[in-house]
Amino acid sequence: MKKKSIILLISVLIIILVTISILLLNKKKNIYHMETIIDNKQTYVESITTLVTKDKKLNKLLNKYITNQKSHFSTKIKNLNNNYLIGRDELNIDCKLNVLNKTTWNIVVIVAMTGPSFTEAYHEITCITWDTKRQKELNIKNVLPDKSNFKDIKNEVFEKLRKECQTCLSKETFNKIFTEDFKTFEIEKNMMTIYFNPNILENKQIDIIKVTLEVSNKAYYKDAKTKEIKKKKSTPVRIIDSKKPVVALTFDDGPSKYTEEIINILKSYNVKATFFILGNKVDAYQDILRKSIENQNELGNHSYNHKWLSKLSVGDLTYQIDKTQEIIKEKLNYTPKYLRPTYGSVTNRIRKNTNLEIVLWTVDTKDWKYHDANKIIEQATTNIKDEDIILMHDIFDRTKDSLKTIIPKLLDQGFQFVTISELEEVKKIRSITK
């Protein structure tokens, strides 16, 4: 009898332990970050933002799609050897995550191919709605709150599609494509957007066709709360001596999984820097960005998803800048004052269409090119002059490592680290006192 109850107790304990570890594992799978990789090649540029999660199955699915798009792009481009920046082709892939509830993610991957090899820009969208618990992809039928209304939705979609484009899809083809297994849809709050890519359309329509539906999907959507930035009891006053040399560290293309550590390194030396961030990563990294602001670093605008600003139309250009300003204001209650155009490429069109001040750099550490932290250190510490702006990227491990040497070295050389706003202040004071 006693033996039996001990066995029973042990089994119960084992069950509890297994449940806890399964729960923890599932929780872990929900951890994600957004990664941006910019590859600046001789004949083309690639800017790819993707979601990286603890869920290997999901990563594999995303990677497979991106790899396919990359090879699709490389077969389309003519590898024109245009040294001139504007003349290069561009592959831009952006990724957006809509967290619908604890176990459902709706991921939208947007592909854009532009440049001299493309007579018209090529766009494509794919969506993955992922059950994080069961680790499987969901279709439209799975996410509709009332499963019986698929037929009604189907009719509505077809009618709206017809309104958008009369000849894009015949009823017959539409019926074949838009089944219960359809997956190219996005869910935001109580709105569902259905995407039809150019490759499935029957006429020569070259852009994606969107159809939006109102769905009572409130149960599906978890509203992200905007957290308040903690007001520090007393913000220490920064004293910058305008008579002594200043230098500004700037970081582009972040935030990333390395940003928090970079912020910590800066703080450990009581050093401030400026981060030119991408709008598409603000949501995923809002806690880290908040911490960055609390530490008195400055945030600047580096476009929404690293599109090549100098090549865009006025509409697309202002969208890239304004959407980034908006999301930073909304999530962080912060308004950037400076814009750093992507690829450091500035045109009069950009100048004319933004109120933000444009900031480039005077020293390129080439951390995107050098994989060795020592090389980056050399670039960032040799021949640095007063008022220099140093370009780095907070998306590399090596950049993070190099800072531990760069900062003390420059401090030893007598430099004060300033943000771009502080640099402007110092310049102003100097011009008055001259």
Give the footprint of Zn ion on this chain (CB under 5 A): 252-253, 342
CB of 302 to Zn ion, least distance (A): 6
Polymer length in residues for the chain: 434
By C-alpha distance, which of 198, 41, 193 is closest to 111?
198
Report yes or no: 109 and 94 within 8 Å, Cβ to Cβ: yes
Cα–Cα distance measured from residue 413 to residue 204, given in angstroms and rounded to the nearest whole number: 62
CB of 78 to Zn ion, least distance (A): 25
CB of 206 to Zn ion, least distance (A): 28
Among 55, 94, 252, 253, the active-site one is: 252
Our CA angle for 347, 349, 353, nearest 5°, is: 125
Cβ nearer to Zn ion, comparing 157 with 389:
389
Among 253, 388, 393, 401, the active-site one is: 393
Cβ nearer to Zn ion, comparing 195 with 368:
368
Residue 371 is among the residues annotated as catalytic for this protein? no
Cβ nearer to Zn ion, comparing 174 with 308:
308
Q: What 3-state class would DSSP assign to 225? A: coil
Sign for the pseudo-dihedral over CA of 352, 357, 362, 363:
negative
Cα–Cα distance measured from residue 400 to residue 264, given in angstroms and rounded to the nearest whole number: 10
Q: What 3-state class would DSSP assign to 332? A: helix
Cα–Cα distance measured from residue 375 to residue 358, given in angstroms and rounded to the nearest whole number: 28
CB of 304 to Zn ion, least distance (A): 12
Cβ nearer to Zn ion, comparing 58 with 339:
339
CB of 316 to Zn ion, least distance (A): 17
Cβ nearer to Zn ion, comparing 252 with 401:
252
**Long-range Cβ contact pairs of 341-344 (< 8 A, separation 24 or more):** 341/303, 341/309, 341/310, 342/47, 342/302, 342/303, 342/306, 342/307, 342/308, 342/309, 343/40, 343/45, 343/85, 343/308, 343/310
Residue 412 is among the residues annotated as catalytic for this protein? no
Q: Which two tokens stand for residue 60?
A: 């594999």
Cβ nearer to Zn ion, comparing 115 with 341:
341
CB of 164 to Zn ion, least distance (A): 34
Sign for the pseudo-dihedral over CA of 162, 163, 164, 167:
positive
The residues that are catalytic are 252, 393
